Amino acid sequence: MTRIFALAIAALVAPSWVVAAPCPGNPQALGTERVIEIDAKTTPRVGRKQFPSTLPLGAKELVLTFDDGPWPGTTSKVLDALKSECVRATFFLLGRNAAAHPQLARRALSERHTVGHHSYSHPILSRMSLAKAEGEIDRGIAADEFAVYGERRTKPATPFFRFPGFAANETLLARMSERGLVVFGADVWAGDWVQMGPEQELRLILRRIEQVGRGIVLFHDTKGQTAQMIPAFLRELKKRGYRIVHVVPK
């Protein structure tokens, strides 16, 4: 009885801490350490490469994010690797890709990843009028929401947005806050938009992660070199004692 009571108290005290469930078929899995819930009120903008602060993460805690998908071939490889390690990530979808490959977008959701938004066609939004930029953002959100949930809406189920090329301006950032959309930057990346071999990308991202110690990691699930290195990357994180945090809307 006392033990049950203690467990109940522990659950009440730390509601955002989820004890990692065993990973079927992979006892050595990296797994997902815990889940944090965020909203635009408490964390309107996250990622130290662009903003003054980032997600509330402890030492060696990482949030994995993938941009620009879904893309045939590469996204499914990334999803397979995450699944076999029981790791949950966040995918910032491009509306036109979600519209073209809705089954992949739905797979990301069904495997309990977070689905955020990244515009319709990846323009540099900071150079457009507010109306035009917001039109692009809304077109992207509506395409993603239709692909994933079957509902063409501009108020998304997960109000997370990443600007293409991180190109925001004060007007756009203020508008995102008004709309309750959390703007994601990043804390670390390998720069996988530059062509390199998967081994080189692996060495580079691990070195940079060791430098920052924690944070939001940015990849592109449209890149073959990234899709190829993710399995080794996840195994290496486990070996080095990193833990994965999954971020969801409040």
Chain residues binding Zn ion by CB under 5 A are 67-68, 164
Q: Shortest distance, CB of residue 14 to Zn ion, whole angstroms? A: 35
Q: Are 205 and 233 in contact (CB under 8 A)?
A: yes
Instruction: Tell me how far, at minimum, the Cβ of 97 lies from Zn ion, in Å.
Output: 10
Amino acid at 175: R
Structure tokens at 125: 């939004």
Q: Indicate the residue among 120 and 233 with the shorter CB distance to Zn ion.
A: 120
Instruction: In the chain, count H helices and then E strands.
Output: 8, 10
Closest-by-Cβ residue to Zn ion is: 67
Minimum CB–partner distance for residue 219 and Zn ion (Å): 11
How crowded is the C-beta side of 191, counted as CA atoms within 13 Å? Answer: 9
Q: Which pairing describes strands 34-38 and 243-249: parallel, antiparallel, or unpaired?
A: parallel
Q: Which is nearer to Zn ion, 68 or 85 (CB)?
A: 68
Shortest distance, position 4 Cβ to Zn ion, whole Å: 48
Nearer to Zn ion, 220 or 243 (CB): 220
Q: What end-to-end distance do the CA atoms of the chain give, in Å?
A: 32
- Closer of 216 and 237 to Zn ion (Cβ): 216
